[in-house]
């Protein structure tokens, strides 16, 4: 989520909630944003869907590690909950094979954007994006670095086990 984006204040608000459930009225969201929501946000539940492509607003909550759990158009409220990512951990020798789900889960565990994780790892934001979409897998050396960053961040994972 880029600083200056219309929905950046919502991203910050959710990031500061640190994973606790958050319920906001449409009016409260508009106060956070400093501007009105589009009409479709009040009339179409689909506007609040947790989609990763083509929805700047969804990036605000998803980049903060949240999903919309429910939206009540009649009451004008939306409930956000901590996103639960599922991933499988695999190893080759003593190296964890970092996959798209694990990388995204680590990033969200750390409360970082793709760009911030890229800075932490010394790679480009595009590289993190390509890892998260499964376009490319991290090299062996990048996997080892991811493991060190995960350990320092207290990100727990177990080999061969699906994690919610």
Final residue in a domain of this structure, among 26, 55, 82: 82
- Contact between 67 and 61 (Cβ < 8 Å): yes
What CATH number is attached to the domain comprising 115? 1.10.260.40
- Residue-wise pLDDT for 71-120, tens only, equals 999 999 999 998 766 677 888 777 788 988 899 888 877 878 888 899 99
* DSSP per-residue letters across 98-138: --HHHHHHHHHHHT--HHHHHHHHTS-HHHHHHHHHTSS--
Q: Are residues 25 and 67 in the same domain?
A: yes
Q: Are residues 70 and 94 in the same domain?
A: no
Q: What is the pLDDT of residue 161?
A: 47
Q: Are residues 95 and 122 in the same domain?
A: yes
Q: Are residues 157 and 98 in the same domain?
A: yes
Final residue in a domain of this structure, among 41, 62, 82: 82
Q: What is the pTM of this model?
A: 0.55
The half-sphere exposure of 4 on its side-chain side, counting CA atoms within 13 A, is 1
Number of structural domains in the chain: 2
Q: Are residues 100 and 60 in the same domain?
A: no
């Amino acid at each position: 989520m880029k600083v200056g984006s219309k929905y950046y204040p919502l991203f910050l608000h959710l990031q500061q909630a640190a994973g606790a459930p958050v319920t906001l009225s449409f009016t409260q969201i508009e106060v956070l944003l400093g501007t009105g929501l589009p009409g479709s946000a009040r009339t179409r539940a689909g506007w609040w869907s947790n989609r990763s492509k083509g929805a700047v607003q969804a990036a605000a909550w998803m980049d903060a590690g949240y999903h919309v759990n429910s939206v009540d158009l009649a009451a004008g409220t939306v409930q956000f909950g901590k996103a639960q990512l599922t991933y499988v951990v695999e190893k080759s020798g003593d190296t964890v094979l970092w996959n798209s789900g694990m990388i995204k889960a680590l990033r969200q565990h750390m409360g970082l954007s793709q760009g911030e994780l890229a800075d932490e790892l010394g790679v480009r934001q595009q590289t993190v994006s390509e890892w998260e979409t499964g376009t490319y897998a991290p090299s062996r050396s990048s996997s080892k670095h991811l493991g060190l960053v995960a350990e320092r961040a207290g990100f727990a994972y177990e080999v061969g086990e699906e994690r919610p």
